């Protein structure tokens, strides 16, 4: 199996079953293996000639498998210190307090709402939580507010949260944290570039049509429109279905508009027309309301005890 075939299999996250019939080897792919359960319908298995997988072209350069640019940001407490002294902290703390209703306001939730742009490393990271957040909260006595028999007022929570944030900032000054930050914006431009390349678009639609299962009359069940969109997605710079919640909501609305889940069958020209209509609608939606997907991960610093792990044992 070539490199492109292995890439395709990893992309689709498949473990297909195979068998031989006549002179061809066939494989059955269960659509549920790579389509999200949130789409809410049982997907029939897809039967393909095994050589389709072997001859599949590698993903294009606009594929979602292409690594997004990663920037390293050093967080040293200065931004967080400025935030702690600003009115924005009081506003955020009161928002957390109000959301708690009758339950105790959560420090973890309040800190989790802070962003790298505000000078806070991701508190969901275990290393950040153990080395920075928990010691800061303990030194400020924040645990006393968690006593179920003790009521907490708004002003008290705001002041306690401010003290914890200031303590976190002080600890970051002594132990700066490097954060790997990546972000990707889906604004419809990649779809626009793709649909303008008519030859590439026609070739992709032809390959997808050939790969999808048809009935004896050569028509395709309408529910495979979603599968077709997911297959053409990498070339159009789209993420896999189920990987970006905001994108899934937009796609679901468009599918309702074109009645993609209403049943029935499609001829090839109807399939191509609907896929193009879906891509066009998605492009317009993203142009008006771009979707930003970002991720942050703390890079654990190497301390002396860690360095010894890499030294040869004599």
Residue range 61-88, pLDDT digits in tens: 333 334 467 788 889 999 999 999 999 9
All structural domains of the chain with their residue ranges:
1-58, 77-175, 184-301
> Do the Cβ atoms of 25 and 18 come closer than 8 Å?
yes
Instruction: Reply yes or no on whether the pLDDT at 169 is more than 50.
Output: yes
The torsion of the CA quartet 261, 265, 270, 275, rounded to 10 degrees, works out to 30
Instruction: Reply yes or no on whether the pLDDT at 197 is more than 50.
Output: yes
> Do the Cβ atoms of 115 and 292 come closer than 8 Å?
no
Instruction: Reply yes or no on whether the pLDDT at 8 is more than 70.
Output: no
> Do the Cβ atoms of 297 and 179 come closer than 8 Å?
yes
The Cα–Cα gap between 74 and 96 comes to 27
Instruction: Reply yes or no on whether the pLDDT at 238 is more than 60.
Output: yes
Q: Write down how long the chain is.
A: 314
pLDDT band for position 33 (50/70/90)?
Answer: very low
pLDDT band for position 103 (50/70/90)?
Answer: low
pLDDT band for position 241 (50/70/90)?
Answer: confident
Q: Across the strands, what pairs with 47? A: 28
DSSP conformational letter for 51: H
Instruction: Reply yes or no on whether the pLDDT at 173 is more than 60.
Output: yes
Helix (H, G, I), strand (E, B) or coil at 296: strand
> Do the Cβ atoms of 50 and 25 come closer than 8 Å?
yes
The Cα–Cα gap between 154 and 176 comes to 31
């Amino acid at each position: 199996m070539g490199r492109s075939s292995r890439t395709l299999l990893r992309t689709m996250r498949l473990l297909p079953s195979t068998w031989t019939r006549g002179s061809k080897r066939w494989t059955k792919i269960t659509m549920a293996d790579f389509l999200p359960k949130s789409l809410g319908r049982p997907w029939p298995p897809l039967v393909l000639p095994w050589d389709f997988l072997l001859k599949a072209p590698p993903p294009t350069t606009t594929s979602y498998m292409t690594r997004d640019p990663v920037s390293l940001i050093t967080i040293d407490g200065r931004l967080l210190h400025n935030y702690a002294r600003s009115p924005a902290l009081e506003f955020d703390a009161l928002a957390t307090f109000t959301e708690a209703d009758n339950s105790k306001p959560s420090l973890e939730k309040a800190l989790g709402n802070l962003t790298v742009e505000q000078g806070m490393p991701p508190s969901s990271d275990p290393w950040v939580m153990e080395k920075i957040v928990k010691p800061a909260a303990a030194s400020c006595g924040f645990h006393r507010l968690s006593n179920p028999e003790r009521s907490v007022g708004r002003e008290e929570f705001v002041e306690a949260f401010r003290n914890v944030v200031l303590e976190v900032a002080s600890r970051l000054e002594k132990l700066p944290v490097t954060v790997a930050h990546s972000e990707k914006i889906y604004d419809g431009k990649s779809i626009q570039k793709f649909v303008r390349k008519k030859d590439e678009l026609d070739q992709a639609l032809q390959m997808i049509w050939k790969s999808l299962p048809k009935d004896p009359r050569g028509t395709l069940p309408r529910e495979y429109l979603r599968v077709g969109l997911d297959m053409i997605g990498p070339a159009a710079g789209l993420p896999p279905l189920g990987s970006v919640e905001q994108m899934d909501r937009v796609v679901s609305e468009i599918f309702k508009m074109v009645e993609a889940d209403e049943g029935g069958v499609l001829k090839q020209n109807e399939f191509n027309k609907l896929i193009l209509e879906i891509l066009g609608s998605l492009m317009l939606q993203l142009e008006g309301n771009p979707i930003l997907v970002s991720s942050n991960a703390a890079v654990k610093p190497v301390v002396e005890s860690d360095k010894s792990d890499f030294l040869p044992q004599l």
